[in-house]
């Protein structure tokens, strides 16, 4: 039963499943418009009080930011849970990076909502129905180059079990962040000597300075001098930052 329709959003109430189903006809272009649609959704949720919600995000293309994340948690997620929501499923949209912002929205706010993300509506409904949704998530990723589009952009296809879409998208996020880190810090990293790179790798293992000195057959004073130079060149202060450098530059 359709209970709402605007230029952007359609909301169906599947009474037999005790479920709201939302479909974006077109994506809001601004947070102002998005807020209006989500407040209408929340108002209807308070009226009908379904236990589940299914968001079909195929056409949604508005990236969320931290401020919007907090607004959604306060004005949508919390009220819906208070009015009976137990599960929310999302079908990933065409713009994967936009959907990544949706995933991050829940993580950044430590959301109250029990949510999951799927490649298809069928899988999302199975999860909402508490059917067996186990998939082989250990299959290797296949990456295929499919040529150049009319604008000169490379077309890359990534094949992975659809049931593992959440981890696939998070992998994209990690790759993007790592790439940004490398671009921002490669000049600093290039200033390290071969010996300093070697020491950085060993430091990332969490060993004590005396253990590192013994492993390298150098004095503790020499090690401390190297470490002082490394910290100055990379502008680092913690073991976490050391590990980040080692992981990003694939140092062994």
SS3 13: strand
Select the CATH number that applies to the domain covering 191-248 from these four: 3.90.1150.10, 3.90.380.10, 1.10.10.10, 3.40.50.300: 1.10.10.10
SS3 23: strand
pLDDT at 46: 97
Write out the CATH class of domain 2-130: alpha beta
Quick check: 95 and 139 in contact, CB under 8 A?
Answer: no
Q: How many CA atoms lie within 13 A of 34 on its CB side?
A: 17
Q: Structure pTM?
A: 0.62
Looking at residue 167, the DSSP 8-state letter turns out to be H
Q: At what angle do helices 239-248 and 194-203 cross, to 10 degrees?
A: 120
Strand pairing report for 9-14 and 19-24:
antiparallel
Mean pLDDT by 10 residues, the chain (252 residues): 97 98 97 98 98 96 95 98 97 86 90 92 92 49 66 62 64 70 87 92 92 94 95 91 86 52
């Amino acid at each position: 039963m359709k209970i709402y329709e605007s230029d952007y959003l359609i909301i169906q109430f599947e009474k037999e499943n005790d479920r709201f189903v939302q479909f974006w006809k077109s994506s809001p272009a601004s947070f102002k418009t998005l807020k209006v649609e989500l407040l209408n959704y929340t108002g209807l949720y308070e009226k009908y009080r379904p236990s589940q919600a299914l968001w079909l995000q195929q056409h949604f293309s508005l990236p969320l930011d931290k401020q919007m994340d907090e607004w959604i948690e306060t004005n949508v997620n919390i009220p819906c849970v208070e009015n009976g929501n137990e599960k929310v499923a999302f079908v990933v949209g065409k713009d994967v990076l936009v959907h990544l912002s949706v995933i991050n929205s829940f993580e950044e706010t430590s959301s109250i909502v029990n949510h999951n993300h799927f490649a298809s509506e069928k899988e999302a409904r199975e999860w909402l129905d508490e059917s067996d949704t186990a998939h082989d998530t250990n299959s290797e990723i296949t990456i295929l180059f499919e040529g150049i589009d009319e604008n000169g952009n490379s077309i890359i296809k990534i094949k992975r079990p659809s049931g593992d879409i959440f981890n696939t998208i998070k992998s994209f996020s990690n790759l993007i962040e790592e790439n940004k880190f490398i671009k921002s810090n490669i000049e600093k990293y290039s200033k390290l000597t071969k010996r300093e790179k070697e020491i950085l790798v060993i430091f990332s293992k969490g060993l004590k300075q005396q253990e590192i000195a013994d492993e390298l057959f150098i004095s503790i004073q020499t090690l401390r001098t190297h470490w002082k130079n490394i910290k100055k060149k990379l502008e680092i202060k913690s073991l976490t930052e050391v590990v980040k450098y080692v992981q990003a530059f694939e140092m062994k």
